[in-house]
A = this chain, B = another copy of it.
Amino acid sequence: MTGPRFTPLVASLPATVPFVGPEAQERARGRPFRARIGANESVFGPSPKAVKAMEAEAAEIWKYGDSTSHDLRHALADHHGVPVEAVLVGEGIDGLLGYTVRLLVGQGDAVVTSDGAYPTFNYHVAGFGGMLHKVPYRDDREDPAALLAKAAEVDAKIVYFSNPDNPMGTWHDAGVVSDMIARVPDGTLLVLDEAYVEFAPEGVAPPLDVTNPNVLRMRTFSKAYGMAGARVGYVIGHPEVVAMFERIRNHFGMNRAAQAGALAALQDDVWLADVRAQVAQSRTRIAQIAASNRLKALPSATNFVAVDCGRDGAFARKVLQALVARDVFVRMPFVAPEDRCIRISCGTPADMEVLAQELPRALEDAKGGQ
């Protein structure tokens, strides 16, 4: 019995998974984390209005969600001042990245990203047979000029760029990004992942221009809106490009309560401003904790901070492992030299106290273990 005949591409794919979630780590460790500050989730939670909207929809969950996400999509279009045809709602940026890659990338097609950028994007590219070309970070930031040069060199179908960046938290100003947009080679799609943009200062997001078919902006309710577990993201782009998603997306894939929650969250500016303020405080607190341990926190326009552990990746990995062993869930960049850092998500004051307590001990553990 040979069993099913998988495609040659699928048969060639690794069985590895981009991320091990905190629950899986907790089960492996046999006890819960005391501080869950590793996945850039918003510990400050969703707007109470979003919670109420999701609760109200729980008993209505027998109905499929609206396949067009009509109300949410219209609200997003109004919010951003773009036509509704320029907006598509999908199952988180992860899901939308998968659709985007599927739309464009066939076996052997070139795709460009930064070495050490979002692994889930790379997972999708590999999953559709694309050929990934990576350029290094430059001074802990993604390097627009190098990304564009590589895209031109390899005739890329997609160039992926996140601003602000994950995992470093760094950013480029809108002028740089606008210049990048203007220089995208024709026939290349710039996927501009702005998952963290609500945390960034004014002047980081360039104006939306949905007349340009060469750029897709990706946004999410997972970060500033505190709804990672709901799976709601969206793209903004040229209506003709956005319309292509209709050919392949899972039309009834959106959770009904998540749609309602996102709509309510979008309308609660006060909550968003409060989350931003708490995130800013927590960033400052992480930098203080780092400094008091003679470590340097990188500047961040996100809800996390990369903390330079001052030595190489092996050392940072030991610090990370020691923190995890001490019940503090954090993550770290995958690639040198950025992997000299650990990546700490903003947390509540209680989370920060746990961090303040455990970081010096983790550093001791890491030094002792050498």
A residues adjacent to B (C-beta < 8 A): 1-10, 13-15, 17-24, 27, 36, 39, 41-46, 50-51, 54-55, 57-68, 70, 91-92, 94-95, 98, 102-106, 109, 120, 127, 157, 186-189, 213-214, 222, 226-231, 238, 240-241, 243-244, 246-248, 250-258, 261
Contacts and interface: CB of A to CB of B under 8 A. Distances in A.
11 contacts: A1-B186, A7-B105, A21-B252, A23-B67, A42-B62, A55-B55, A55-B58, A91-B253, A94-B252, A127-B248, A231-B253
A1 B213 contact: yes
Contact of A241 (B4, B19, B61, B98): B4
B1 A229 contact: no
A228 B70 contact: no
Contacts of A104: 4-7, 10
A42 B98 CA distance: 31
Contact of A246 (B17, B41, B228, B230): B17
A250 B94 contact: yes
Given A4-B187, A45-B59, A64 B39 contact: yes
A82 B241 CA distance: 44
Contacts of A63: 22, 36, 39, 41, 228-229
A214 B44 contact: no
B58 A58 contact: yes
Contacts of A248: 10, 13, 127
B54 A257 contact: yes
Nearest to A95: B250
A75 to B, nearest CB: 15
Contacts of A17: 67, 246, 251
Contact of A51 (B59, B105, B120, B222): B59
A187 B94 contact: no
A261 B70 CA distance: 25
Contacts of A7: 102-106, 109
Contacts of A41: 62-64
Contacts of A94: 250, 252-253
4 A-B pairs closest in CB distance: A229-B256, A3-B213, A4-B189, A54-B58
A102 B129 CA distance: 12
A23 B65 CA distance: 9
A106 B107 CA distance: 11
A67 B251 contact: no
Nearest to A64: B228
Contact of A58 (B27, B120, B261): B261
**Which one of A13, A61, A222, A261 has the highest number of Cβ atoms from chain B below 10 Å of its Cβ?**
A61
A44 to B, nearest CB: 7
Contact of A4 (B3, B103, B243, B261): B103
